[in-house]
Structure 1
């Protein structure tokens, strides 16, 4: 528990102090957000707001995690390092995308194919490595199974597992990216999912098969360290959100949204709750579904279901204030996280 508190506190303080420094640095260098012409007209006032603020979350999280281990005198674990690798790798892809937008002064950075290839490259390395590094009990950070509240069904094999992990990583990272359209929306929703994984990691630690033998124990490697990772990123997000809340003084950009999607997907794989993430992060799923519905329906009928997709822009064009949308969507995110945690706990209860 001490490691969790230290990681969260250090990342929080670094993000609170580092974000205004990043704002000044990026403003001085002209690293301002480009706005799509076809977007809501109210967003044009945000043009020039510093972006790439996700770097603060990433750096703060990494330092917070490292300080927690220095304070406890324990080495980092394979599970924790792999999740941080996925977060940092996808953050690097997002940083490149943001930098191209700024350099070329356009609202589109990397082409979709190039961005996807970057996500695939990082995801493949993660998916292969996460099946390795067994501990003394023979437990690896993940196993070639599908999982919901724990692993289920027969093994799917390494190849299918890698493909499934890639789908999960690309899907969640792009879902967070689509949600990052209003000030504080994505980072606030991510905080609730990360808080859920702090609780899940603690629960799996207390009921680990290495410590407690029984039908409801968990064969999860390094659950405490996964909770530390979630806490570190949670602290970084809260510190960043202080400056990102409406009206935002800085945007996380693709640097932050892809990184947050990566850490959520990594936590889902390593805690063996892959499908549970779709409930915990239900807001991201809903917003992504709105885009799929809009595009699919338009291609079939040449008509639109929503005034604009993703869903948050539909409500903007319907006259809702930005802060109203953000707070109401946060409530939906909190409800989804509560339902997911409830399902996790009920499944564990002795039958």
Structure 2
């Protein structure tokens, strides 16, 4: 438990101190955000705001995670045994996607446009990272035979009736990783919206992973136990990332001094995907990250409806821009969407706990 608190505190501290330094450096270098011409007119004033702030989130998350383990190694907390395969793989996925996002952001800045990597290059980058994660997640079995991921589709635990062949599982990993990273990226369109929502989702995963550690089949075999490799270490990863998001939000909240860019959005999407796979909650994650899913679905529906009818379903997609163009103030949209995100997280936790009660009965 102490490791989780230390990871969150250090992630918060590093992020809140590193972000203003990045603001100064990126401002001097002219690393400013380009704005979509067809977007809400109120966003025009944001042109030139420093971007790539996701670097602070990634650095703070990694530092928080390893600092927590350093304190544990020094004897403060006996609950964990050092960095685990599951924790390191989730970090690898987040950092790898963050690198893809960084390249995308950098190209946008250099070419002074709102488009960075083309769709093919971005998809290839996501493919390489996701496939590497999927392959490695089926390796590194512990002494109980558990690997970071399983070949089963999962809800709150593995669904025994749905088993993937290894090749199909790797493809499934790519779909999950690509879906979540793009969903968070679509949500990152208003000051603090993606950062605040990500903090809530990651905090939810802290609770889930900690609960799985308390009821691990390895520790307390019973009807309602969880076959998850390294759940406590996954809670440490989620805590470090949640703390990093909150620290970044201090500077990213409206009016934003810096944007996370694709660097942060893709990394955070990778975290959600990685945590859902390693905690065996892929279907439950759809509820927990419900706001992200709605934002992505709004884009898909907008494209599908426009291509078939040549009419727009929403004034603009992603969904949050629809309300801006309807006359809502940006802060109103952000706060109400945060409330929706919190409801999704609480509902997801309720489903998780109710399943555990049912399994125990």
Alpha-carbon distance in structure 1 between the residues aligned to 2:278 and 2:45: 41
Matched, 1:120 2:127: yes
Measured after TM superposition, the shift of residue 292 of structure 1 is 1.0
Aligned partner of 2:116 in structure 1 is 109
Aligned partner of 1:24 in structure 2 is 24
Alpha-carbon distance in structure 1 between the residues aligned to 2:120 and 2:42: 30
Measured after TM superposition, the shift of residue 154 of structure 1 is 3.9
Measured after TM superposition, the shift of residue 216 of structure 1 is 1.1
Matched, 1:130 2:140: no
Q: Map 1:4-23 to 2 at 5 A.
A: 4-23=4-23
Alpha-carbon distance in structure 2 between the residues aligned to 1:279 and 1:7: 26
Matched, 1:298 2:306: yes
Aligned partner of 1:340 in structure 2 is 348
Aligned partner of 1:273 in structure 2 is 281
Question: Any unmatched runs of 5+ in structure 2?
Answer: 74-80
Alpha-carbon distance in structure 2 between the residues aligned to 1:58 and 1:213: 36
Alpha-carbon distance in structure 1 between the residues aligned to 2:162 and 2:284: 18
Secondary structure, counterpart of 1:146 in structure 2: strand
Alpha-carbon distance in structure 2 between the residues aligned to 1:142 and 1:177: 25
Aligned partner of 1:43 in structure 2 is 43
* Structure-2-length-normalised TM-score: 0.96
Secondary structure, counterpart of 1:276 in structure 2: helix
Aligned partner of 2:158 in structure 1 is 151
Alpha-carbon distance in structure 2 between the residues aligned to 1:71 and 1:129: 27
Measured after TM superposition, the shift of residue 213 of structure 1 is 1.2
Aligned partner of 1:89 in structure 2 is 96
Where in structure 1 do 4 or more consecutive aligned residues deviate above 3 Å? none
Measured after TM superposition, the shift of residue 215 of structure 1 is 1.7
Matched, 1:201 2:209: yes
Measured after TM superposition, the shift of residue 160 of structure 1 is 1.1
Measured after TM superposition, the shift of residue 212 of structure 1 is 1.1
Q: Which moved more, 1:207-216 or 1:116-125?
A: 207-216
Alpha-carbon distance in structure 2 between the residues aligned to 1:42 and 1:106: 18
Matched, 1:64 2:67: no
Matched, 1:78 2:89: no
Q: Map 1:218-257 to 2 at 5 A.
A: 218-257=226-265
Match of 1:99 among 81, 99, 106: 106
Alpha-carbon distance in structure 2 between the residues aligned to 1:158 and 1:114: 26
Alpha-carbon distance in structure 2 between the residues aligned to 1:49 and 1:66: 31
Matched, 1:211 2:219: yes
Question: Any unmatched runs of 5+ in structure 1?
Answer: none
* Structure-1-length-normalised TM-score: 0.99
Measured after TM superposition, the shift of residue 163 of structure 1 is 1.0
Measured after TM superposition, the shift of residue 85 of structure 1 is 0.2
Measured after TM superposition, the shift of residue 155 of structure 1 is 2.1
